[in-house]
Amino acid sequence: MHRTIFTTPVVSTLLRGLSVAWLRLAGWTVQGQLPPEARKSVFIAAPHTSNWDLPYTLFASFALRLTPYWMGKASIFRFPFGGLMRWLGGIPVDRSKSSNLVAASAEALVAADGPVQLIVPPEGTRSKTVYWKTGFYWIAVTAKLPIVMAHMDYSRKLVGLGPLFHPTGDVDADMIEIKRYYAQFKGKNASQFTHE
């Protein structure tokens, strides 16, 4: 995995302090902590309804001392922002193709030396989506890693980590259960999120 603000010494310490201070000033509560068995894991990041979700995900990641990488749409990596986005932990995804992203991501997670958490917003967009993408699920199954149900709620100013989810292999049943868990959270534009 490439170098990011989270793996750059001094920078990460500095930004961690700023993130904690910002979240505190803005009145947010950071919930949960990363269980040791999830040092390598796949994060579900939902609800995703706003451009503010990315900065808050980064602040929370610092507060929780994570080593995150996040999947983002390829267009936000266009010149001149690509380098910055990657340094923030971004991995570009071309949503118009279904490539070997699952296999490649699982392989990169298995090969990583240290802790690494792959943050995937399964809605794939800020717009309203009924069907969640199942890539996060298959990456976890392929890499044999736990799924962490991470969340954000702007109405209660909560961000953080919920329970682990262990895939059973029955993706349809598992997706229903996962989405039921997310029914309690409200994104910034809550009407753009549906958990049905």
**Which CB atom, from 121 or from 167, has the smaller least distance to ligand NKO?**
121
Q: Give me the least distance between CB of 37 and ligand NKO, in Å please.
A: 17
Give, in order, the Cα–Cα distances in Å from 35 to each of 3, 50, 156. Answer: 23, 28, 24
In the complex, least distance from residue 3 CB atom to ligand NKO, rounded to whole angstroms: 19
- Tell me the closest approach of the beta carbon of residue 61 to ligand NKO, in angstroms: 5
- 86: tokens are 């990657």
Measured from the Cβ of residue 134, the count of other Cβ atoms closer than 10 Å reads 15
Q: Which residues bind ligand NKO (CB under 6 A)?
A: 45-46, 48, 53-54, 57, 60-61, 64, 70, 72-73, 76, 121, 125-127, 150-152, 159-160
CB of 119 to ligand NKO, least distance (A): 6
Q: Which is nearer to ligand NKO, 95 or 173 (CB)?
A: 95
DSSP tag of 156: T
Phi, then psi, of 87 in degrees rounded to 5? -65, -25
